[in-house]
Chain A
Amino acid sequence: MIQVRNAVKEYDTGAQRVTALRGVSLEINDGEFMALAGPSGSGKTTLLNLIGCLDSVTGGEIIVDGSPISALGPKERNRVRMERIGFIFQNYNLIPVLTAIENVALALEIGKGLGEREFRERSARMLAEVGLAGLENRRPNELSGGQQQRVSIARALVKEPPVVLADEPTANLDSKTGEEILALMESLNARHGTTFVFSTHDPMVMRHAKRIVRLHDGEIVSDEIPPANADGTGAKQ
């Protein structure tokens, strides 16, 4: 479980100080498939970065499985990222000189103490699971945008993290490919029980979410379970 307690994030932009999050509180349960929705500048990416230990809060606290993140040093935060969180980026952030399988294996090469053969086997299995069997040895420039995002998803999931954070994962894809990617994420969420938290401002994407947290100007304005996914508890806020 991830708990966000009264999180505040301020940035210095040189001339002025910008408040990106203004006391956000939130609980994310294991296995959720949750969207952080809101317009540009609402604080979605900032909140994802804080949850993913990619940034530090200015105030408040982020607690992952009972451990407050702000108490962790750089090495421990590295370890949290390595063991507990997978990231999917809007721009995929694949390394162009590596093949699909090598990009996926990057996630395994750090920390797990696995051999090269096991890297490749697990990476190939993961690529097959995201529908890229047979394309393992292609470089990113030989793959379509959707295929690149699938590689990025495989990279996020190959180390089997309990939480995957995705920052606008379909923003650079056409609507059909975007639907496919979301369907894939939903299926992985269902099969592995992995928690997915993704940011979006696209209503089409939000339709797939089982919970939608809306942000505006750094504050949560609503936290709801869409009717199609409601199990009787209704909207949380």
Chain B
Amino acid sequence: MNALGMAMRNVFRYRRRSLITAAAIGFGVMFTIAIDGMLAGTERESARNIRDYETGDIKVYPPEYFDDRAVSQFTSFIERDDRKRLEAILGDRRWTPRVNAQAELDFGEEWFAVPGSVQATLTAVDPVRDGDTLAVARMVDSGRWLRKGDTGIVIGSWLADDIGAKPGYWLTVECKGRGGFYQTFDAEILGTVTTENPVVNRNGAFIALDAADELLALEGGVTEYVIRSRKGDGASAEAKELSLAAGGLPVDVRTWEEIAHDEILLTKAKSSGSKLYLFFMFIIAAVGISNTMLMAVMERRHEIGMLRSLGYPTIRIRGMFVVEGFCIGLLGAAMGLVGGIALDVFMIVKGIDFSFMLREMDVGYRITGVMRSAWNLPGIVSAVVGSLVISTFVAWFPSGKMLRKEVAEILRS
């Protein structure tokens, strides 16, 4: 009888106990797989929504703009002449120029039941190129998207809901123009957008670049170019190529990972926090299996004594318990794998709709509604392997004290 065969028989000897322990491990593995898949899916979707609605794959900024971009100081621009040269370098890539500014949107009593004002991120866009490069233009849910020469505005749907705005209403926009002067202009709401990115829905306001150029005295300057990489995920290499190609131009090329560094860090921190809970879940499973093996050792002490009386070395007897722990872990891992994959399938196909929550609060992820999982093979493998390693590892210890005793003492106890 080999150790594996004997271990399997002993696992089924204490069927209920083994099943409870395996179920605890399975529970841990299942939730590790499911939560890991959910985190992977959320991270992936969040990253996609950052790229599709905010950053593209690469951005080109004026020099010294990047570090202070949150302040939107409106002093650094890629100037008209440099733009022409840059656009020649960008060639047939998908790219679009943008100007970002902070604005105050005033809504008066003529159009709104409750007048007031609200902060928004005002982005001046090339209506055609923006639609080819980013996804906002495709997400209009009422009214229409911008056209060249428009003096109206498109706003995020959550923002519109908050202030009770509809297409056809008028807003007064207050913001700084180039050089720091304050500009105020009226703009008709042309449409609202409901995107997959909560930042756009909550704060986004878009005007046509040619109108902005006149209103804000931009003199042909823009604050950024958003570029889609030809290489898909190879934005970093392409950013280097662009940086080299634009060597003579006063521009600063950044990848989306650099731009969204804080958001990525936040996502990773959330992911680590969630994994800590999973770690504790595994600890509980480890305590469970340790307890099971301790009970097995205590109940089978006479068998241990008998085996030693036959001349079995302690390492071999210990090995039997370790293999038994491994078998319980294997059973648990199999149960957890099936359960975890089932949950993953459900979460990938259906997902869970968190829109009621995400509409009201910023959870750090750029997702707006249904959280969906993604297959994360390394996560699945590490959950299964982790449970097996822990089960095997903790099964090593309980027999140690017993095996250090004299055989007669074991038999007598």
Contacts and interface: CB of A to CB of B under 8 A. Distances in A.
Chain A bound to chain B: yes
Interface of A: 45-46, 49, 52-56, 74-75, 78-79, 81-83, 85, 87, 89, 91, 93, 95-98, 102, 105-107, 109-111, 155
Contact of A109 (B1, B406, B407): B1
A41 to B, nearest CB: 13
A105 B6 CA distance: 13
Interface in B307-347: 307-314, 316
From B9, B302, B305, B309, residue with most partner A Cβ within 10 Å: B309
A53 B10 CA distance: 28
A112 to B, nearest CB: 10
A81 B310 CA distance: 6
Q: Dominant SS at the B interface?
A: helix
A92 B305 CA distance: 12
For the complex of A and B, list the 7 residue pairs with the smallest distance between their C-beta atoms, beginning with the closest. Answer: A82-B311, A55-B408, A97-B9, A93-B306, A49-B408, A54-B407, A54-B408
B6 A97 contact: yes
Given A52-B309, A55-B407, A82-B310, A96 B316 contact: no
From A74, A91, A93, A96, residue with most partner B Cβ within 10 Å: A93
B187 interface: no
Contact of B312 (A53, A55, A96, A110): A110
From B12, B311, B316, B407, residue with most partner A Cβ within 10 Å: B311
A225 to B, nearest CB: 29
A182 B348 CA distance: 71
A75 B311 CA distance: 9
A155 B309 CA distance: 11
Contacts of B303: 93, 95
Contact of B1 (A91, A96, A98): A98
A53 B305 CA distance: 12
A105 B306 contact: no
Contact of A110 (B305, B310, B406, B412): B310
B231 interface: no
B306 A78 contact: no
B297 to A, nearest CB: 14
Contacts of A45: 408, 412
A89 B311 contact: no
A98 B311 contact: no
A111 B309 contact: no
A53 B406 CA distance: 9
B13 interface: yes
A156 to B, nearest CB: 9
Interface in B384-413: 406-409, 411-412
B406 A56 contact: yes
Given A106-B1, A109-B1, A98 B9 contact: yes
Nearest to A79: B311
Contacts of B310: 81-82, 87, 106-107, 110, 155
Contact of A89 (B1, B314, B411): B411
A87 B406 contact: no
A85 B9 CA distance: 28
B328 to A, nearest CB: 15
